[in-house]
Chains A and B, each alone.
Chain A
Amino acid sequence: MRSLPSEIGELISKYIGKALGGPTFIARSIAVATLSVAKSLLGMFGEGFVTDIECIKESFLRKMKAEADSAVGEAQKKMAEAAEAANRANLPKRKDAIARTEQELAQAKVAKTQAEGEAIRKDAETRRLQAIAEAKARLLEALGKLRQEGGDIFFDRDNLRKILEVGFPPENYKNNSESDSDD
Chain B
Amino acid sequence: MTAHGRFHAALPTDLDNQDIAELPRWARVAFAARCARRVQAVFTAAWPEAPQEHIAAVEAAISIAEAASVGVRPSAKDVVYEAQRACEAAAVSERRAAEAAAEAAANAAESVEAITESFMTCASLGAATRAAEAIGFRGAVMTGIRRDFERLKKWAQKEAWTDETRVSREFFGPLWLEGEEPDWSKVKLVSKTGEEGEETKNIPTEEEIAQLPRWARVAFAARCARRVQPIFSAAWPDADEWHVQRIEQAISIAEDAAFQARSATIAPGIDNVKEAVVAALTSASAAVAAADAAYGAWLAATTAQTAADTVAYVAADAARAAKGASFEREVVSGIRRDFARLKEMAEREAWTDETPVLSEFFGPLWLEGEPERWPFVKARRAKFYEQPQLEIYIDPGNAPKETIQEVFEALSDLHVAAGGLGLEFVNDGNFIYAMEKVPK
- Kindly list chain A residues whose C-beta atoms are within 8 Å of the C-beta of B384: 27-28, 30-31, 167
For window 73-103 of A, CB contacts with B under 8 Å fall at 75-76, 78-83, 85-87, 89-91, 93-95, 97-98, 101
| Residue interface mask B429-440, A partner, CB < 8 A = 1 | 011111111110
B391, A78: Cβ atoms closer than 8 Å: no
- Kindly list chain A residues whose C-beta atoms are within 8 Å of the C-beta of B405: 82-83, 85-86, 89
A63, B390: Cβ atoms closer than 8 Å: no
Q: In the complex, which of the residues A89, A145, A159 contacts B388, with contact meaning CB atoms closer than 8 Å?
A: A159
Cα of A15 to Cα of B433 in the assembled complex, Å: 12
In the complex, whether B345 has a CB less than 8 A from a CB of chain A is no
What's the minimum C-beta distance from A4 to chain B, rounded to whole angstroms? 8
What's the minimum C-beta distance from B182 to chain A, rounded to whole angstroms? 50
In the complex, whether A115 has a CB less than 8 A from a CB of chain B is no
In the complex, whether A2 has a CB less than 8 A from a CB of chain B is yes
For window 37-76 of A, CB contacts with B under 8 Å fall at 37-38, 40, 53, 55-57, 60-66, 72, 75-76
B421, A20: Cβ atoms closer than 8 Å: yes
- Kindly list chain A residues whose C-beta atoms are within 8 Å of the C-beta of B425: 15-18, 83, 86-87
A82, B390: Cβ atoms closer than 8 Å: no
What's the minimum C-beta distance from A139 to chain B, rounded to whole angstroms? 4
Q: In the complex, which of the residues A9, A17, A24, A86 contacts B436, with contact meaning CB atoms closer than 8 Å?
A: A9
| Beta-carbon nearest neighbor of B245 in chain A | A24
In the complex, whether B360 has a CB less than 8 A from a CB of chain A is yes
For window 349-389 of B, CB contacts with A under 8 Å fall at 356, 358-360, 381, 383-389
B419, A36: Cβ atoms closer than 8 Å: yes
- Kindly list chain A residues whose C-beta atoms are within 8 Å of the C-beta of B389: 16-19
In the complex, whether A176 has a CB less than 8 A from a CB of chain B is no
In the complex, whether A8 has a CB less than 8 A from a CB of chain B is yes
Cα of A163 to Cα of B433 in the assembled complex, Å: 24
Tell whether A76 pairs with B432 under 8 Å between CB atoms, given A36-B418, A150-B397: yes
Cα of A63 to Cα of B5 in the assembled complex, Å: 39
Segment of B17-25, B32-40, B277-285, B408-416 in the binding face: B408-416
| Beta-carbon nearest neighbor of A150 in chain B | B397
In the complex, whether A170 has a CB less than 8 A from a CB of chain B is no
Main SS at interface, chain B: mixed
What's the minimum C-beta distance from A105 to chain B, rounded to whole angstroms? 12
- Kindly list chain B residues whose C-beta atoms are within 8 Å of the C-beta of A14: 391-394, 427-428, 430-431, 433
What's the minimum C-beta distance from B75 to chain A, rounded to whole angstroms? 37
What's the minimum C-beta distance from A151 to chain B, rounded to whole angstroms? 3
Interface centre among B248, B255, B256, B414 (most CB of A within 10 A): B414
Cα of A2 to Cα of B392 in the assembled complex, Å: 21
- Kindly list chain B residues whose C-beta atoms are within 8 Å of the C-beta of A98: 256, 421
Tell whether A20 pairs with B410 under 8 Å between CB atoms, given A37-B418, A155-B392: no
B255, A21: Cβ atoms closer than 8 Å: yes
Q: In the complex, which of the residues B407, B414, B419, B439 contacts A153, with contact meaning CB atoms closer than 8 Å?
A: B407
A79, B394: Cβ atoms closer than 8 Å: yes
B437, A2: Cβ atoms closer than 8 Å: no
A151, B403: Cβ atoms closer than 8 Å: yes
What's the minimum C-beta distance from A106 to chain B, rounded to whole angstroms? 11
A166, B383: Cβ atoms closer than 8 Å: yes
A27, B407: Cβ atoms closer than 8 Å: no
Cα of A139 to Cα of B419 in the assembled complex, Å: 17
B413, A20: Cβ atoms closer than 8 Å: no
- Kindly list chain B residues whose C-beta atoms are within 8 Å of the C-beta of A17: 389-392, 411-412, 415, 423-425
B393, A155: Cβ atoms closer than 8 Å: yes
B392, A62: Cβ atoms closer than 8 Å: no
Tell whether A11 pairs with B395 under 8 Å between CB atoms, given A20-B358, A62-B434: yes
B359, A97: Cβ atoms closer than 8 Å: no
A90, B409: Cβ atoms closer than 8 Å: yes
| Beta-carbon nearest neighbor of B249 in chain A | A24
A89, B420: Cβ atoms closer than 8 Å: no
A151, B394: Cβ atoms closer than 8 Å: yes
| Beta-carbon nearest neighbor of B386 in chain A | A166
A20, B414: Cβ atoms closer than 8 Å: no
Contact residues of A with B, CB < 8 Å? 1-4, 8-24, 26-34, 36-38, 40, 53, 55-57, 60-66, 72, 75-76, 78-83, 85-87, 89-91, 93-95, 97-98, 101, 128, 131-132, 134-136, 138-139, 141-143, 145-147, 149-156, 159-160, 162-163, 166-167
A-B contact pairs, 16 of them (CB 8 A): A8-B436, A9-B434, A12-B394, A13-B396, A16-B428, A23-B256, A32-B420, A37-B415, A38-B390, A60-B436, A90-B409, A94-B416, A135-B417, A154-B392, A155-B390, A155-B393
Q: 19 other contacts beyond A26-B421, A146-B403, with CB at 8 A cut-off?
A: A13-B396, A14-B431, A15-B391, A36-B419, A36-B420, A53-B391, A53-B393, A56-B438, A60-B436, A79-B404, A83-B405, A83-B427, A97-B420, A131-B418, A145-B403, A147-B397, A153-B395, A154-B393, A155-B390
- Closest 8 pairs between A and B when the two form their complex, measured CB to CB: A33-B420, A151-B397, A150-B397, A86-B408, A36-B418, A31-B384, A149-B399, A17-B390
